[in-house]
Amino acid sequence: MARAVGDDDDHPSTSSTDDLPVSRYANDIASAVKTNAVTVVIGETGSGKTTQIAQILLRSGVVADGSAVAVTQPRRVAAVSVAKRVAEEMGVEIGKEVGYSVRFEDRTCRLTRIKYLTDGTLLRELLEDPTLSRYSVVVLDEAHERSLHTDILFGLLKKLVSARELKLVITSATLDSEKFSTYFDDAPVFTVPGRTFPVQIAHATEAPKSYFQSAIETVVDVHVNTGPGDMLVFLTGQEEIEKACRAVEAHVRSMPEGECPDVQVLPLYASLPPDMQSRVFHPHDPNVRRIIFATNIAETSLTVPGIVFVIDPGVVKQVEYDAMTGMNALKVVPISSVQAKQRAGRAGRTQAGRCYRLYTKDALELDMPAITRPEIQRTCLVGTILYLKTLNLKGLDVMTFDFLDPPDTALIADALRQLYFVGAIDPDGKATSIGREMSSLPLEPCLSRAMVEAKRLDCVADTATVAAMLSVERVFLGQHRDATESLHELATHEDFLLGDHAVLLRIYQAWESSGYQRKFHQRYSLSDRGMEFAREIRKQLLGVFKDKRKSDRNDFDCFSRTDEGLNRLRQSLCAGFVTKIAHRLPNHNGYRTLGENSTLCQVHPSMARQLADKDGLLPEWIVYHELITTSRPFLRHVCKIEPEWISKQRELLSKKVNIHRLSGGVLSPGDAESTDAASGHEADTVDANKAPVE
Ligand code: ADP
Ligand code: MG
């Protein structure tokens, strides 16, 4: 029988970094950065941009004494993983000279000279320290990914480099240098000559019925019929990847001994525990073929060494936000031709390779977009716009902010409307004290607004618990419904009738009472990491509020674990989720969302059962966390609310708002009419004296 082997070697690789392309041009890179405020560095994925540039700049004295170099990463896992790698290369302990800082986890100290951080974390640092005084160099890495936060940093750091002595390095793996260079006032471009091997590309002759099935068949075919070499297969998500791993392992086990070489099948996706993730970097037996099933994370942010075969189904999972309906659509969409090229390139890093594209050449040329649409153009911008508002930039009109690629005005208008409705900005588009307080919390806007309300209602601890549980990627091990039977031991029937938030609160409270036991996780199918992470987030959130109170009091809630406590929690959620209220249809379990573009939708079936009363009816009024469409529009994470809590909000939601004024385009109310007319904006009226939400 052929073997599917486990990973039993946990010594990290120690291959030399001197022959990485970037290292060979160390002097040129250092002097380019020395002589220019902004430098664009282009180099193939795997050429050493992420791991080497910061070290080069430090060694060559570009990083001023007593200051540090910040290297941003769009992905949290990449920030952590490369920081560890660089610490290892430099032979230092992580958290000292080399550290990382990601949301809810800071492994840096006063000594830190090289700091890897997510682009989101650097944005937060800018709030506290608008000139980023700690750093003499900032590297905006993986710029080609065009993540939302990196795009915002482009605009803000462009201003900052002209205001103070700060070096900015933009790195990209794709040849979009001209665009970056032009945006940064013709910044010089340094292209690191690549050293790649030819990759032979095979296209499908006809479109497969199922890209997943086709991927599995191709993996098996290549494994059985070609010579040695590791394989990298791009899939769209965790579930699909786990399924593929099982399918291929089973297939290999069923083959007669000697028919094919042994294999090691490895998954690679963002929410995989870090030690499992780093297995792709470990040395392994060359006689064993490694087959790695990965998400897009392996396209450019993590370079898996030794890949000879790439299998590319040509798709990626992506969230697209619709500003009209407030709906997120999670879609499997075709990749762009730039991405297709990147993926194929993964096969030729160490020797000549082969890429099997599971789509036709025609599809590539006719159906797939040329370039990837930046995240800023397909995501909800509430958090981003609030952020820009709280920075207090002089004369800021968010509609005309210097974006590299501006988002559609409908996305900005939607964000402004939502911010106004929750009371984060005033009718003139200025951040209110509520808005500023929201910005100081590392949570998505609706949850941070709920936290601000919780402070007023004296239910901070419970609301923090719920916010923390909703902020971790995965609390439940299986699907939520798998766990519900045993969860009835933790939450009462009444709790279930109130919705997910009440149940999440009860789970956490029971875990807390158990003394945070691990046994507890097993019994209720909870994720160890998820729960521990929730505990950490909660601690940090409470820390923020404790600092604000300037007192040692830790007993935030007088009503915790009582019905009144739950009422207050739900009222806080009402304040946060004003723009996410849904009303049930009469005698029907369908819902209609409130607001200008109301949508018909349903509570996700996995949740609906628990919420139904004895007549099978769901609550009349709910707030929801997310409206997402897969096959149909579904509401996720819903909480029952009482109609009397939202009468004011409903009135407000029916009002028209003056978007132009909210965006900051009108300096004083007197200018409003003429400016509106001139710019063609709809001159809607709004009562300027009315506070949006009490
Ligand atoms: P780039 O940013 O240009 O894509 P990197 O600096 O990420 O390149 O990678 C340079 C080299 O370092 C690659 O060969 C990659 O495999 C290796 N490498 C990166 N991270 C790790 C890690 N955590 N462990 C071992 N090797 C790594
Ligand atoms: Mg990189």
At 606-634, the pLDDT tens digits run 777 788 888 889 999 999 999 998 788 99
In this prediction, does ipTM exceed 0.90?
yes
What share of the chain has pLDDT > 90, as a percent?
A: 63
Q: DSSP for 234-274?
A: E-SSHHHHHHHHHHHHHHHHTSPTTSS--EEEEEE-TTS-H
Q: What pLDDT does 121 receive?
A: 96
Residue 86, number of CB atoms within 10 A of its CB = 24
Relative to the alpha carbon of 77, which ligand is closest? 1
DSSP percent split of the chain into helix, strand, coil, nearest 5: 45, 20, 40
Ligand 2 mean position, distance from CA 688 (Å) = 48
The number of the ligand 1 atom at minimal distance from the alpha carbon of 305 is 16
Ligand 1 mean position, distance from CA 20 (Å) = 9
Q: Which residue's alpha carbon is nearest to atom 5 within ligand 1?
A: 48
- Does residue 518 surpass a pLDDT of 80? yes
Q: Tell me yes or no: is domain 21-192 CATH 3.40.50.300.
A: yes
The pTM assigned to this predicted structure is 0.86
CATH of the structural domain 199-376, one choice from 3.30.200.20, 3.40.50.150, 3.40.50.300, 3.10.20.30: 3.40.50.300
Ligand 1 mean position, distance from CA 586 (Å) = 58
Q: Which residue's alpha carbon is nearest to atom 22 within ligand 1?
A: 85
Ligand 2 mean position, distance from CA 111 (Å) = 24
Q: Which residue's alpha carbon is nearest to atom 20 within ligand 1?
A: 82
Tell me which residue has tokens 């009738």: 497
Phi, psi of 311 (to 5 degrees): -115, 115
49 lines ligand 1 (CB under 6 A): yes
Q: Which residue's alpha carbon is nearest to atom 13 within ligand 1?
A: 46
Q: What pLDDT does 15 receive?
A: 52
Instruction: Identify whether the C-beta of residue 298 lies closer than 8 Å to the C-beta of residue 234.
Output: yes
Beta-carbon-side half-sphere exposure of residue 459 (alpha carbons within 13 Å):
24
Relative to the alpha carbon of 281, which ligand is closest? 1
Of 85, 116, 277, 302, the residue with max ligand 1 atoms within 8 A of its CB, to mutate for a pocket test, comes to 85
Q: Which residue's alpha carbon is nearest to atom 15 within ligand 1?
A: 303
Length of the chain: 694
Task: For the chain, give every domain's residue range.
Answer: 21-192, 199-376, 381-546+555-640
CA distance 390 to 387: 5
Instruction: Identify whether the C-beta of residue 567 lies closer than 8 Å to the C-beta of residue 644.
Output: no
**Which range among 20-34, 69-83, 302-316, 669-683 shows the weakest confidence by mean pLDDT?**
669-683
Q: What pLDDT does 616 receive?
A: 87
The number of the ligand 1 atom at minimal distance from the alpha carbon of 13 is 25
85 lines ligand 1 (CB under 6 A): yes
CA distances from 250 to 212, 272, 290, 301, 596 (A): 16, 21, 15, 30, 52
**What fold does the segment set 381-546+555-640 form as a domain?**
Four Helix Bundle (Hemerythrin (Met), subunit A) (1.20.120)
- Does residue 448 surpass a pLDDT of 60? yes
- Does residue 258 surpass a pLDDT of 70? yes
Residue 672 gets the label, from left (phi > 0), alpha (psi -120 to 50) or beta, of: alpha
Ligand 1 mean position, distance from CA 332 (Å) = 28
CA distance 44 to 649: 52
Do 21-192 and 199-376 fold alike per CATH?
yes
Mean pLDDT of the chain: 88
305 lines ligand 1 (CB under 6 A): yes
Ligand 1 mean position, distance from CA 150 (Å) = 21
Q: How confident is the model at residue 690 (pLDDT cuts 50, 70, 90)?
A: very low
Relative to the alpha carbon of 192, which ligand is closest? 1
Question: Across-strand partners of 117?
Answer: 72, 101
Of 303, 346, 351, the residue with max ligand 1 atoms within 8 A of its CB, to mutate for a pocket test, comes to 303
Instruction: Give, for 322, the enclosing helix (H) or strand (E).
Output: strand 315-322
Express each pLDDT in 85-116 by its tens digit.
Answer: 999 999 999 999 999 999 889 999 999 999 99
What DSSP character marks residue 171? E
Ligand 2 mean position, distance from CA 49 (Å) = 5
- Edge-to-edge, what's the strand order for the sheet holding 105-107? 105-107, 98-102, 114-118, 68-73, 135-140, 167-172, 38-42, 189-191
Instruction: Identify whether the C-beta of residue 270 lies closer than 8 Å to the C-beta of residue 211.
Output: no
- Does residue 684 surpass a pLDDT of 90? no
The number of the ligand 1 atom at minimal distance from the alpha carbon of 45 is 4
Ligand 1 mean position, distance from CA 48 (Å) = 6
45 lines ligand 1 (CB under 6 A): yes
Beta-carbon-side half-sphere exposure of residue 523 (alpha carbons within 13 Å):
14
CA distances from 375 to 40, 146, 331, 387, 627 (A): 21, 6, 14, 17, 19
48 lines ligand 1 (CB under 6 A): yes
Q: How confident is the model at residue 548 (pLDDT cuts 50, 70, 90)?
A: low
Ligand 1 mean position, distance from CA 303 (Å) = 6
Q: Which residue's alpha carbon is nearest to atom 14 within ligand 1?
A: 46
Nearest 10 degrees: Cα torsion 614, 616, 619, 620:
-120
CA distance 350 to 194: 12
Ligand 2 mean position, distance from CA 619 (Å) = 49
Q: What pLDDT does 608 receive?
A: 79
The number of the ligand 1 atom at minimal distance from the alpha carbon of 84 is 23
Relative to the alpha carbon of 307, which ligand is closest? 1
